[in-house]
Structure 1
Amino acid sequence: MMMQNLKLRTRMLLYICSVVCVAFVFTISFVTINARRLVKTQALREAQEIAYRYSSAITVEIEIAMNAARTMSQIFEGVRIHSDVPERKMLDDILKQVLEKNKDFIAVWTVWEPDALDGRDKQFANQWGHDETGRYIPYWNRATGFSESEPMTNYRTEGKNDYYRLSQSKGKEIIIDPQVYQISGADVLMTRVVSPVIYNNKVVGVVGIDIMLNTFELLVARLKPFETGSVAIISHAGRYAAHPDSKLVTQDIGISEQWNDAKRAIKAGEFFQFIDTANKSQGEVVRIFVPIRLGRTETPWSFSVNVPMAEVIKSSVKITSVSTTIGIASLLLMIVIIFIITGSVTRPLREIVKIANDIAAGDLSHDITICQQDEIGHLADAFRNMKNRINDMFNEMNSLIRAIQCGELSIRGNTEAFNGSWRSLVIGMNNVIEAFVAPIYVSAKSLDMLAKGDIPDNITEEYQGDFNMIKNNLNILIEVTKETLRVAEEIADGNLSIEVKERSEHDRMMQALNRMIQRLNNIMKETNDMIQAVGEGMFDVRGNAALFQGGWRELVTGVNNLIAGLSSAVSEKAALGMEMELARKIQTVLLPKNPVISGYEIAASCEPSDEVGGDYYDVISVGGFDWIVIGDVSGHGVTAGLVMMMVQTAIHTMLIQNPQVPPSRLLSVINRTIYENIVRMDEQKHMTIIVIACGKDGFFDFSGLHEDILFWCAETRKVNKIATDGMWIGLEPDISHLLPLSEFRMGNGDCIVLYTDGITEAWGADGKMFGEERLIKVIEQFGDRSAAEIHKAILDALKDYDKPDDVTLLVMKRMGCFSSAS
């Protein structure tokens, strides 16, 4: 709230200066952090370069002694190989000469195994450079200032003879950790490089050179990286070989976890680095370890550089100070510039605010005189446009008001002349007019659609008063029509569990629908109960026909007669033949006696096989429409006959309800009913079937999957096959998407033949089936005859064939010219 009470210029100064100050602080912090990081990175790089440079120098120093020891061992090997009795004095001269020519060597020595040199050790017992057994162990040194020889000591003492034992046992060059040795009675800090003498693949002796470490001590004392840093040389065992503090020489470098990691890296000959914060007085110290690899030894040393980070970052402080000074000067200069800029912005804004207040008060007479090419000028132009747009809006609204007053309700405001909210305002005025006209137009449109049998969508627009009452009444009428249509479609799809809600006790339409659904459910339940009872062998069950009227009573009575016929066929003495007799009864009772379709000649028959089957054909005339059906239930037995009966009953029931149903819809509904009954019977059955709806002028619609329709064309006198492309029924609960609707047309004299596979799969004496080709030949031979003669010719051709399955045949010919049998 405090900031909102300040003037615009003051707020601009505060906001911009705050942002600049934050940016300044961020920049200085960024520079400081990056300067510290850069200085640290550079310091560590320099420290690593120092470590690698001096580790190389130390390697060179020690390599001189190692090369000399290696060369002497190779000379001694050659002497031992090529001389049967090597001269020990000659070997002494070699040792002495190497010592005198290399001032950095403190001693040159060799130790041989007993009698390994020339086999004459006993002759040299207790002589210079030999022990009491005569072993050749000369130690040439310059501890007294002159080159002199004395026998080696401790070469047999366990724990002190590593310089001899390690090289002799491993057969490899070694370098010994720094130790204090007594030479001519004086304590000397030194290290030893040792090379083995090998004869006949066996170590017979070693040659070594002792090196004083004072040169390395002077080196580490002189080097002070970054003024307060230090360096050190560390042996393979993790002990100081050289350190600025001489008290730490030969001492362990440390026992903490970080120092132990450093020791492991030293022994592995690897680079290592860690930050040591243990010493609070020194602060953060980065310790760098670079490996020193010595000749062919397996005991690398390390050169250590200790970098005090507190000293390193001092140079970054200077950079930060300079950056801060420059930043403060720049900040002050920027504040002055901002002060000048804000003044140039707020002055014209004050003028614009005054004119805006005049417009708000309804005074549009003042002109805006500001003309600039910057954002302030654009703001002034925007105010000028706003003033003109308000004037245009006033004129448009006055025009609409005058039109309404004159009763011209078709006139609307010109929305294209405006944009944004101005357009919305004009649209709002148009909507006010529409609020009067729209309800009348919508009501008339809905009533017109209902009068034509089309069902409109509910009226969703919101109205007030009497308009709203009209809308509600129309919506009720639309909902009633939709509900009636929905119930009819559900019934047509075989859904008899649908509930119809009655709006009141006077709702006669919904009451009639509920009665129809109830009666359909009753007839289906009565029929299903009888079928299930018969399937379970209870032939004494009968439907209560008195509960129904009209066609429903006839249907129940017909089923009762069918069950009575089936029941009478069963006897105790004919138990084994009961299934055959029941099947024949089922097939003969349900098949049409004398099928007739106006304009067509039909001949049909079904001959049951010795086994019980499920073939079915039908010709149905209902409601002025004619239908032809043929099908074959899978398998044999009573169950197949019952499935056939259910299909016949369901088809008749469906066609009675809706004789104009499309064949695909008829099969979809029949399939749903049959599938549920088959599931209740716990049987694996299906049925191939096609249904054909007879149209006008020889047109037929059909659907389903069965044997192809054989079509004899009177014009070409050839048989064409019309493929059935659908789905069997009884396998899936919903096959509506698998039942396409197809059609064909029969001209005068044309003929179609429908049959089951009992014809084509009949076996002849030659072991061959009758087949479709033979059937086509018979049809083409007698195609110009009557339907009865074609039917008889096909059955005559089958007389000598064994027919293990039912044989069903239907021949239908459109009346026209055909020949008679001679």
Structure 2
Amino acid sequence: MMPLVWFAAREPRRSVLWAVLGSMVVILTPFIAGISAGDRVTELARLLVGVLVYTALALVVNELSRQYAAQLRLSEEREAVVRTEITRAAEVQRSLLPGALADTPGYALAGTCLPSTTVGGDFFDWYRTDDGVAMTLGDVMGKGVGAGLIAAAVRATVRSSRRDPDPGAAIVRASEGLATDLADGPDSVVFTTLFHARLRGDVLHWADAGHGLTVVVREDGGAERLSTPDLPIGLGLGLHDAWETRTTALCPGDLVVCFSDGVLDLFGGGLDSVEHVAALARRDPRPSSVVDALADLARELGHDDDVTVVALRREPVAAPVAGDVLAPVAVAAPTAP
């Protein structure tokens, strides 16, 4: 019986023929060994019945095998399509990372985004404004393509507010873009924590929507965490104008580091991780050094959550010496994941 099933389970239809022929050989063995004439009729009847039964069994096993193989091929094809789409989504997401800022004397920036999966829910951004620079970091609840799509939408909405000098207004606009109809049920609520700031001269204008993971490391070594009681966006609570813009002095030599909650996991998961980040910045206040140190730590330890960091430093601009030309401060490009 087992050889019959093994032969019939092979996908080609001719496997059924081999299985039936094998069964006939087994049944015809008594004829080869020699039997009496009276028993031949009985054995022939048994042969006929056996061939019919085993043929039916072989056909059933073969058909089930063929159907399983077809389903397996279909599943593999669908999986290949999904993988291709996810890879393309990741490429699009990476293309949305900001490029290096040129001709911005007095500022230095660096950033990185290390998704825990192919497509992540974190993002960061920066761009020039009429009177300085702006920076943004957002963290969408969840992971994968869905979170990545929301992250791209929030980033685009915030960036569309670049002519509005009020960071709080940009967050309000992003919140309106994620407005959720509560009739859709609680499963439709996907919130995003967001930090958005604009640096004008020595004043940092900033707004925080439930993020709370930004620290200013002063040139003298002091540290100040920037946080508010304001809620994340996308909660579907009908909030309007609920995000206030605040200001913080940012003198030459001061550094702003904003990061996602994936960085907390690198230091144990508690809010005391903010002090660990500040300690890294004290050792080397260059934005690129802080970002690289956290990225290297994430790669070394592994991370189950997206790890995103953006750092902005107000660089002192030295007065040009007679006969010299003042060169712009080099600005670091985003670190590739």
Task: Report the TM range for the smaller structure's normalisation.
Answer: 0.5 to 0.7
- 1:63-74 equivalences in 2 (<5 Å): none
Residue in structure 1 matched with residue 73 of structure 2 by the alignment: none
Output the CA distance in 1 between the equivalents of 2:113 and 2:181: 25
- From 142, 150, 164, give the equivalent of 1:635: 142
Partner of 1:603: 110
Distance 1:695 1:758 in 2: 29
Maintained 8 Å contact 2:137/2:258: yes
* Superposition deviation, residue 803 in structure 1: 0.3
What corresponds to 2:127 in structure 1?
620
1:779 aligns with 2:284: no
d(CA) in 2 for partners of 1:702, 1:801: 31
Distance change >3 Å, CA 739–CA 604, structure 1 → 2: same
Residues 343-354 of structure 1 mapped to structure 2, 5 A cutoff: none
Q: Which residue pairs with 1:504 in the alignment?
A: none
Candidates 658, 681, 692, aligned match of 2:197: 692
Cα separation, 1, equivalents of 2:244 and 2:306: 28
SS at match of 1:577: helix
Task: Say which SS state the counterpart of residue 288 (structure 2) adopts.
Answer: helix
On the 8 A contact 1:782/1:793 being kept in 2, the answer is no
Q: CA deviation at 1:667?
A: 1.4
Match for 1:592: what amino acid? P
Once residues 640 and 753 of structure 1 are traced to their aligned partners in structure 2, the CA distance between those partners, rounded to angstroms, is: 23
The corresponding residue for 1:647 is 154
Specify which of 208, 214, 218 is matched with residue 713 of structure 1: 218
The secondary structure found in structure 2 opposite 1:739 is coil
Q: CA separation of 1:677/1:653 partners in 2, compared to 1, >3 Å: closer, same or farther?
A: farther
Give 2:23's aligned residue. Answer: none
1:622 is displaced (CA, Å) by 4.3
SS at match of 1:694: strand
Go from structure 1 to structure 2 and tell me whether the alpha carbon gap of 1:777 and 1:758 turns closer, same or farther (over 3 Å shift).
closer
1:673 Cα deviation from its structure 2 partner:
1.9
CA distance in 2, matches of 1:785, 1:661: 27
Q: Deviations over 1:344-376 (max 9, x none)?
A: xxxxxxxxxxxxxxxxxxxxxxxxxxxxxxxxx
Contact 1:708 1:723 in 2 (8 A): yes
RMSD: 3.0
Whole-Å Cα distance in 2 between the matches of residues 579 and 729 of structure 1? Answer: 28
The alpha-carbon distance between structure 1 residues 691 and 677, as it changes in their structure 2 partners (threshold 3 A), is farther
- Aligned match for 2:309, one of 809, 812, 819: 809
Change (3 A) 1:580 1:595: farther
Larger Rg: 1
* Match of residue 593 from structure 1: 99
Is the alpha carbon distance of 1:639 and 1:679 closer, same or farther for their aligned partners in structure 2, counting shifts above 3 Å? farther
Give me the whole-angstrom Cα distance separating, in 2, the residues matched to 1:574 and 1:719.
49
Q: Percent identity?
A: 22
Supply the AA of the counterpart residue of 1:769.
Answer: G
SS of the counterpart of 1:726? coil
- For 1:628, what is the secondary structure of its paired residue? strand
Q: Distance in 2 between matches of 1:586 and 1:628?
A: 20
Kept after mapping to 2: 8 A contact 1:709/1:753: yes
In structure 2, the CA distance between the partners of 1:595 and 1:759, relative to structure 1 (3 Å rule), is farther
Give the match for residue 265 of structure 2. Answer: 761
Written as runs of structure 1 = structure 2, the 5 A alignment for 1:234-383 is none
C-alpha distance 756-577 of structure 1, shift in aligned 2 (>3 A): same
| Residue 584 of structure 1, aligned match among 69, 84, 90 | 90
Instruction: Determine which of 731, 752, 757 is the counterpart of 2:256.
Output: 752
Question: Alpha-carbon deviation of 1:779?
Answer: 3.3
Contact 2:115–2:307 (8 Å) recurs in 1: yes
SS in structure 2 at match of 1:738? coil
* Equivalent AA in structure 1 for residue 195 of structure 2: I
Which secondary structure does the structure 2 equivalent of 1:699 belong to?
Answer: strand
Cα distance between partner residues in 2 of 1:650 and 1:585: 20
Counterpart-to-counterpart distance in 1, 2:139 and 2:194:
7
2:72 aligned residue: none
- CA gap of 1:589–1:680, structure 2 versus 1, over 3 A, is farther
Residues 701 and 756 (structure 1 numbering): CA distance in 2 closer, same or farther, change over 3 Å?
closer
Match of 1:702 among 207, 224, 236: 207
Equivalent residue runs for 1:116-515 within 5 Å:
none
- Partners in 1 of 2:299 and 2:168 — Cα distance? 36
**Residue type at the aligned position of 1:647:** V
Q: CA, structure 1 residues 586+710, in 2 after alignment: closer, same or farther (shift >3 Å)? A: same
| Distance of 1:660 and 1:719 partners within structure 2 | 29
Q: Given the superposition, is the C-alpha separation of residues 709 and 692 from structure 1 closer, same or farther in structure 2, using an over 3 Å criterion?
A: same
Aligned counterpart, 1:154: none
Structure 1 residues 625, 607: closer, same or farther in 2, change over 3 A?
Answer: same
Q: Measure, in 2, the Cα distance between the counterparts of 1:626 and 1:680.
A: 38
Whole-angstrom distance in 1 between the partners of 2:146 and 2:308: 19
Give structure 2 stretches of 5+ with no counterpart: 1-76, 318-337
- The 3 A distance-change label for structure 1 pair 770 and 792 is farther
Aligned to 2:8: none
> Partners in 2 of 1:652 and 1:811 — Cα distance?
18
Corresponding residue pairs, total:
238
Secondary structure of the 2:215 match is strand
Inter-partner Cα distance in structure 1 for 2:276 and 2:246: 26
Give matches, 1:69-148, under 5 Å: none
Residue 810 of structure 1 aligns with an amino acid whose one-letter code is V
Q: Provide the residue aligned with 2:239 in structure 1.
A: 735
Q: How far, CA to CA, are the matches of 1:632 and 1:662 in structure 2?
A: 21
Secondary structure of the corresponding residue to residue 799 of structure 1: helix
1:635, CA displacement in angstroms?
1.0
- Distance between the aligned counterparts of 2:165 and 2:119, measured in 1? 32
SS of structure 2 residue aligned to 1:609:
coil
Kept in 1, the 8 Å contact 2:117–2:143? The answer is no
Structure number with higher relative contact order (C-alpha < 8 Å, ≥ 6 residues apart): 2
CA distance in 2, matches of 1:782, 1:653: 31
TM-score of the superposed pair, with normalisation by structure 1: 0.27
